[in-house]
Amino acid sequence: MTEGAAAPFGERLLAVFDRLGPLCVGIDPHPWLLDEWSLTADAAGVREFGLRVVEAAAGGAGVVKPQVAFYERWGSAGFAALEDVLAAARDAGLLVIGDAKRGDIGSTSDAYAEAWLHPDSPLRVDALTVSPYLGYGASAGVVRRARETGAGVFVLAATSNPEARGLQGARLTTAGGSAGTVAGGIVDDVLDDNASAGETRLGSVGLVLGATVDLAATGIDVARLATTPVLAPGFGHQGARYADLRSIYGPAARAVVVSASRGILAAGPGGVRDAVLRDAEEVRSCLA
C-alpha cells in the first residue's frame, strides 16, 4: 500500500459489516425504473436516480454498487453523471463497488486500473468487478493497483446467468494432474493471491459468486472462503432469499456482500429508503 493510501479494502469492508451489516444496494437505472420514478431516460435522469439512491442508502446500508453500463449508455454526459453519483456516495461515507466487469491484458488492463482505482480519478471506486476470462494473471496490474491504493477487486468466478454454467463449470486438468473446474481454478488463484499478500482476516481480492448458483456443483468449496470477500448477486428479484445466506455460503456467510437491486429500487422514490432499512435489518437478522 502506498503512503497516504486508504486502509486495505478488506479492513474497511469489515468495519462496514460491523457498523451497518453486509447489504449492498445496486444503483441500476433500468429504463423501466426511470419511468416508474418519473425520471427522463437520459444522462440527467440516471444522475438524479443515482443521487436519490445514494441518499436513501446513506446510514441504512454501507455499500452501493452502480452498474456502469447504464451510465455508459449516455456517453460523456453519462460518465459525468456517474462521476457526480460516485462523489455523492463518497461524501456520504458509503463504500462503492464499481460494477464495470473490466477485463483485458497488459497496459490496457493497467489503464482500466488507473481509471477506476487511482485516488485522483473522478471515477475512483472502493472496489471494481473484473472478468478473469483472459486468464487471472492478466488482471495482475489491477490487483496491484488496488492494493497500492487500499481498494479491492471482485473477480467473476461463478455468475448467476445461466449462459455461464457451461464455461464456468467446465472441467480442467492442471499441470500437476489434479482435476477441477474453471470457476474453481479462479477461486484457487484468488485465495493464493490473498495468501501471498499476507491478508488473512479479509482479503483485498474477492469473488463474485451468484446466490442462485449451485456452488458445489460448480466445483467451489465455500468452506475455504471465510477470509475472502464474496459479492453475491441474485437476491430478491432473481430468486435467492436472505434467509438462505447461511445455507448457500456456509462458513463464508459473514464475508458476503449481499447485493440487492430491483427488489429495493422497485419501491420507488418514496419507498426506497424504507426498503433499504427493511432489507438491511432482515439481512442482519439472518446472520445473527
Looking at every residue in the chain, the average pLDDT score rounds to 94
Residue 46 lies in a domain: yes
Residue 4 lies in a domain: no
pLDDT value at residue 1: 54
Q: Among residues of the chain, what percentage have pLDDT more than 70?
A: 97
Residue 3 lies in a domain: no
Q: What is the Cα Rg of the chain in Å?
A: 18
Q: Which residues pair with 23 in a beta bridge?
A: 258
Q: Count the domains in the chain.
A: 1
Residue 222: closest CA among 245, 196, 193: 245
As annotated, the active-site residues are 101
Residue 1 lies in a domain: no
Question: Is 237 a residue whose pLDDT tops 80?
Answer: no
Residue 122 lies in a domain: yes
pLDDT (tens digit per residue) in 106-120: 999 999 999 999 999
Q: Got the DSSP string for 4-57? A: TPPPPHHHHHHHHHHHH-SEEEEE---HHHHHHTT--SSHHHHHHHHHHHHHHH
Q: Residue 207 maps to which CATH number? A: 3.20.20.70
pLDDT band at 4 (very low <50, low <70, confident <90, very high): low
Residue 44 lies in a domain: yes
pLDDT value at residue 275: 98
Residue 163 lies in a domain: yes
Coil/strand/helix, residue 174: coil
Grid cell at residue 203: 482479503
Tell me the residue range of the domain where 157 lies. 9-287
Burial of residue 243 (number of CB atoms within 10 Å: 0-12, 13-18, 19+): exposed
Residue 2 lies in a domain: no
Residues with Cβ within 8 Å of 42's Cβ and at least 6 positions away in sequence, in order, are: 74, 77
